[in-house]
Structure 1
Amino acid sequence: MLTHRFGWNLSVYERLPAPTTAPSAGTGTAPVYRIQVEKRRQGGGRWFSTENVADTGPSSPGRLIAQALEATAFARRLAAVLAPGTDRLMVARRNYPSKSHRDPLRPAFLGPLIVGITDGDAQKWGKAKGLSGSPFQRSRRAAVIREGRPLQHTPGTYESVYVLPDEQVQHASRDVFTEGASEALAQARAAVFGGRLTGAADPGHTATATADCADETSSPWPDGAGGCAADFLLCLGCRNAHVHPGHHPRLAYLHQGLRSLRSVLPAEVWQARWAEHFARLNDLRDKTGPPAWDTASSRADTDDHTLVHLLVKGTLRP
């Protein structure tokens, strides 16, 4: 129950002092327990932390501490008599009174008492109860995953050791990963030029303000009459779009204009209205070749300027 509530592992129980009571600051007469937690894996200077929990009722963390203190009260009193200064929460009767003390990393036996809990103790108890081994690691993992937050360890440890390897989390996350990948793919496709680069105009194509259209009847944005209802800026994201060198001056000038708008519009406004189109023009510039693209803007004529102005203003529609 302590593991479920606080996320402690065996190394904490091995050194856990008996919690002390402190005056209550905001819970009336409810006792507040101060718990000194030692975690040496945190590294030098970060071993110790203090948790204050109040006993405000049967389901409160403080009530669990009160029950743990009550359960170990007699053993702790005997330990204090046998070895004055001993102040550990986990004190119990030894399972094997004749066994000698051999573990230099844990406190010596105090007569019939054992202090702390080791992994060996947990394994012996688990096997005695018909389990395959120690129940602590599994119960702590289950408690941590169920709580859904880093308990007594860093966020990095929580993610890498507890969350990611957990099969239940992996299974439950499949739909989330699928949706995220699909969304990322859709965003990537929206940010690139979706048509074809050609060397010259095709007489069979229909000219638009930004590209030549090979087949408006198969538009991704159809209208009710079997045509295309897309904004002319969306042409650059359509598979039917064909861009030849005659389009480069106008598109390069449009690219330059959207870059200028970015410096004068609020960021959220520019992002919502122009970011997608600007990304496509960036991709088109890369596909065309930056030197040729940058030179093309200087060749934009009066008609190009007028069309770009109308596109940016939003008054030019299909």
Structure 2
Amino acid sequence: MMMTDRYGWNLSVFDRLHVPVITPSAGETAAVTYEVVVEKRRSGEGRWFDTENYTDSGADSPGRLITLALEATQHGRALAAVLAPGTDWLMVARNRRPTDVDSNLDRPRPLGPLVFGVSKADATRWAKSHQVGSPFQRARRTTVTTTGKPLQHKPGTHESIYVLPDENVQEAAVEVIAAGAEEALDQARDYTFKGRLADAADPDHQETATADCADEKTSPWPRPSGGCGADFLLCLSCENSRVHHGHHPRLALLHRQLTSLRSTWPEKLWRKRWDEHLQRLADLRTKVNAALARVTDRDRMIIDHLLKGDLAP
């Protein structure tokens, strides 16, 4: 149980746990590092084995439990090596039920007075005597969620089985989810039309490629030398923009042209350059009627130059 609590090993690991290889720790004279080979059958053929390293550098260090396990089982392992040379199972105990027959053929067979690993029957008896449920499963879940990273399982399994169902994780995620939702809302607001709709042009407003500007001096994107330095496509995201009926055909044409560009540009590059503007135009289309039938040659010329980058703000 202590090893499960420390390393997150499940019950089946203890049945096939070989004696770890001991290597000196780099730069240390008193510490030793154990190379433990952990068998994980559920990972699929060819990915059954994983190597984990634990260093014993003193009390409460990761490898101290392995040192204690080696000390506790040294006599049993020595006897096993005499009875069957080459036997190197770490978990060795006296077989107190020699007449019991284990139906699990994947487990190491008893050897004389010795038994290896920890069987499900052993775990069940221990759980009943202590009046608890699945001790290994509960300890493993606690270790994994406390550690906060995958131990013996894949990242997807870690997220779906251990992280997401955990009530502490769910509670902690509330603020994160709320912040993400607010950020998404702010972003969505940025991709909406922020100007005003008008019935006709105002002679006091300055015409741009996509709208009329009511006040260039208060631009969100001022030039160092004065005036507005924004791309004309950003005009629709400015509160100073004014869109009247004369703009409708041109903006409808721009929406169609941006949509057609999507099939010719790489998706990542298109999103970076055009997606924001297309979303803003789509939002504007919910407020005004499309007017492609009224597109003029001048509208076509302006949109063509705008998309080619020939127009300077």
TM-score, with normalisation over the residues of structure 2?
Answer: 0.70
In structure 2, distance between residues paired with 1:290 and 1:251: 8
In structure 2, distance between residues paired with 1:56 and 1:72: 21
1:168-196 CA deviation, whole Å, 9 max, x = no partner?
Answer: 21121111111112211221232133578
Q: Name the stretch that deviates more: 233-242 or 63-72.
A: 233-242
Code of the aligned partner of 2:44: G
The alpha-carbon deviation at position 76 of structure 1 amounts to: 2.0
1:299 and 2:293 aligned? no
Where does residue 201 of structure 1 map in the other structure? 199
Code of the aligned partner of 1:38: E
> Structure 2 vs 1, CA of residues 84 and 239 (structure 1 numbering), >3 Å: closer, same or farther?
same
Where does residue 129 of structure 2 map in the other structure? 128
Where does residue 308 of structure 2 map in the other structure? none
Where does residue 109 of structure 1 map in the other structure? 110
In structure 1, distance between residues paired with 2:240 and 2:115: 80
In structure 2, distance between residues paired with 1:85 and 1:302: 85
In structure 1, distance between residues paired with 2:13 and 2:145: 19
> Structure 2 vs 1, CA of residues 67 and 304 (structure 1 numbering), >3 Å: closer, same or farther?
closer
In structure 1, distance between residues paired with 2:124 and 2:205: 78
1:259-287 CA deviation, whole Å, 9 max, x = no partner?
Answer: x9xxxxxx99x969x97556413554698
> Structure 2 vs 1, CA of residues 123 and 27 (structure 1 numbering), >3 Å: closer, same or farther?
farther
1:74 and 2:75 aligned? yes
Code of the aligned partner of 2:90: L
Structural mapping, 1:79-228, within 5 Å? 79-94=80-95, 96-97=96-97, 99-105=99-105, 106-130=107-131, 132-193=132-193, 201=199
Where does residue 45 of structure 1 map in the other structure? 46
> Structure 2 vs 1, CA of residues 301 and 184 (structure 1 numbering), >3 Å: closer, same or farther?
closer
Code of the aligned partner of 1:173: A
In structure 1, distance between residues paired with 2:129 and 2:250: 82
Identity level (%): 52
1:109-157 CA deviation, whole Å, 9 max, x = no partner?
Answer: 3344321113332222122123x22211111111111111111211111
Code of the aligned partner of 1:187: Q
In structure 1, distance between residues paired with 2:154 and 2:296: 53
The alpha-carbon deviation at position 236 of structure 1 amounts to: 3.5
In structure 2, distance between residues paired with 1:275 and 1:167: 38
On the 8 A contact 1:101/1:108 being kept in 2, the answer is no
- Name the SS for the 1:84 alignment partner: coil
> Structure 2 vs 1, CA of residues 302 and 48 (structure 1 numbering), >3 Å: closer, same or farther?
closer
The alpha-carbon deviation at position 14 of structure 1 amounts to: 1.2
> Structure 2 vs 1, CA of residues 80 and 286 (structure 1 numbering), >3 Å: closer, same or farther?
farther
> Structure 2 vs 1, CA of residues 151 and 302 (structure 1 numbering), >3 Å: closer, same or farther?
closer
> Structure 2 vs 1, CA of residues 203 and 62 (structure 1 numbering), >3 Å: closer, same or farther?
closer
In structure 1, distance between residues paired with 2:206 and 2:151: 60
Report the RMSD for the aligned CA atoms in angstroms.
4.8
- Name the SS for the 1:280 alignment partner: helix
Give unpaired runs (5+ residues) of structure 1: 222-230, 261-266, 306-311
